[in-house]
Structure 1
Amino acid sequence: MQTGTKKPWNWLLFPFSSVKASPFGLFAASVGYGVYEIDEQFNWEKIDAGLPDTTSIHRLQLHSELLHACTNNGLYEWMGESWEHEGLALPCYQYRRTGGASYAATDDGLWIKTASKWGLLACEGKRIYDFLNLPQYMIVGHETGISLYDRFMDDWAHFELERKITSLAVYRGHLIGASDQGELMVGDKKGKFDRIRFGKKFIFSVAAKGNEIYVCTDQGLFKLAYIANKLILLSVMLGFPVTDVDVHGEELYMATLFQGIQTMKI
């Protein structure tokens, strides 16, 4: 495992929540301490120009070499020298761009931007934490469960799970969601969800990277696998809480609560 040698003076205090890797840079965010750019020598530079002092970063996203920050003050895009507000002032938790349209998960529903105007798309009044935009389905994880829109049937299905669903992925045709209670919610393909706990592990999030589904927990990083029709976790890196993961080339990058940004070869 490789770790950086140059870090912010109080890096150990940073609860990192998001990490994004690309050919042109490595970026990491902490909910309370802003966004950092990290170069190949692991020199850290805080990039906060244009962000209000009260800004908390929930997630970072990279699309088409454009870095976006989902914050309590709305959605921002990094312009190279400063952050520029994207015109969506609601607290934002997730951002993705697909098919020429931008989508944002907010405190008040799922929003869409076509051309230059934002508009409410779905789940008005619900706090949205994550979503998946698939060819047939739009899947939304929110403060009370999961909602699913079937484009072919032009119909919504709502699954009230008594949990906040904070991140989503699809594994072998099963819809997977991480809950605010540290569980995995696993769809059975028949309209129901099973709650699965893996011992005493608390699951922070799930993340699809290539053909793998990574599971970030308070005991380390794992990958999902099926063995004998049973869902299991295979260890990738143990020993510290991992909140987010990204992959670039042969390097895997982990955002952690107490150990900064960690990297390893895959």
Structure 2
Amino acid sequence: MEINSTWQSTNDLLSLKFTTLTASRDGVLYAGTEGHGVVQFSPLRSWESASEGLPAQVHVYRLDWMETQLFASTSHGLYHLEDEIWQQTSVTDPCYAAIGWGDRFVLTENGLLCGNDDEWLPLAYRGKKTYDLLVTPHFIFLGYEDGVAFYDLFTGEWCSMPLHQAVTSLAIFNTMLVGTTERGGLIVGNNNGGFNQHRFDGMFLNRLVTHRGEVYVCANSGLYKLMRSEATLFCTR
């Protein structure tokens, strides 16, 4: 069964729980949801379903562009959009992000994969849930179910930094590696090979987003910008 419906009113949209948002070069806005696939909006049309080809009640974790192709990381695997129809790739495990950096990477419930639409091969941490990938000049950082791992581009080796909790998104803030955790907290690199952990009262942090050099925090109580004052780290609207 496929999802194929039009959202008739603002009230219909308010009933959706949005999980991810992205836009095409020609101004079409795409939003992923929990259980209702993908909806889209363009200047010439209202909000409407853009879920043809997706399974019913699918949870869309992320929408990502790799070059000019839109990918949906979902509870039913990885899909790509072709002629307004979602096509399933060979990745059928639940996946959380698709990232293009020279090669193409997919973060799945069964480890980090590398490849293309025809063949995705296991790269690291097979059997582990992998959530986010961050590329820097010297390292590739991975947020996964046990904490953080990094790949040294010079030595070609992976190294784990266990935190006994999943790290679900990553960013660089003031030259420090920061990340959100499955418990809604924030981890901050301490420049000694480890992390300090922070909690903000009344806030559950879901994801970090970097935009124009700033790090924004998507939380249960709204959108914030990550700031630092002397030795204090805080979020401001």
TM-score normalised by L of structure 2 = 0.90
Q: Does 1:40 align with 2:54?
A: no
Number of residue-to-residue matches in the alignment = 230
Aligned to 2:95: 92
Q: Which residue of 1 aligns with 2:127?
A: 125
SS of alignment partner, residue 10 of structure 1:
helix
1:207 matches 2:200 = no
CA contact under 8 A between 2:90 and 2:117: conserved in structure 1?
Answer: no
1:59 matched residue in structure 2: 62
1:83 to 83, 86, 104: 86
Higher RCO (C-alpha 8 Å, min separation 6): 1
Partner of 2:164: 162
Q: Please list the CA deviations of residues 115-144 of structure 1 after superposition, one character each: whole Å capped at 9, or x if unmatched.
A: 842110111110111111333211111112
Runs of 5+ consecutive residues of structure 1 not aligned to the other structure? 1-5, 236-266
1:22-56 Cα shifts (integer Å, max 9, x gaps): 33210001021110111126611101111122522
Residue 14 of structure 2: SS of its match in structure 1?
helix
Q: Which runs of 5+ in 2 are unaligned?
A: 1-7
Residue 176 of structure 1 aligns to a residue whose secondary structure is: strand
Task: Provide the residue aligned with 1:239 in structure 2.
Answer: none
Q: d(CA) in 2 for partners of 1:231 and 1:7?
A: 40
8 Å CA contact retained: 1:69, 1:76: yes
Residue-by-residue CA offset, 1:193-236 (whole Å, 9 max, x unaligned): 1110122211111111121100011121111122113222121x
Q: Which amino acid letter does the alignment assign opposite residue 128 of structure 1? A: T
Q: Which residue identity does 2:209 align to in structure 1?
A: A
TM-score relative to the length of structure 1: 0.81
CA distance in 1, matches of 2:161, 2:194: 8
Aligned to 2:31: 28
Counterpart of 1:153 (choices 152, 155, 159) is 155
Write the distance in 1 (CA, Å) between the matches of 2:10 and 2:68: 25
Distance 1:189 1:36 in 2: 42
Conserved 8 A contact 1:142-1:166: yes
Q: Which residue of 2 aligns with 1:141?
A: 143
- CA RMSD in angstroms comes to 1.9
Partners of 1:117 and 1:160 in 2: CA distance: 30
Given that 1:7 and 1:42 are in contact with CA atoms closer than 8 Å, whether structure 2 keeps it comes out as no
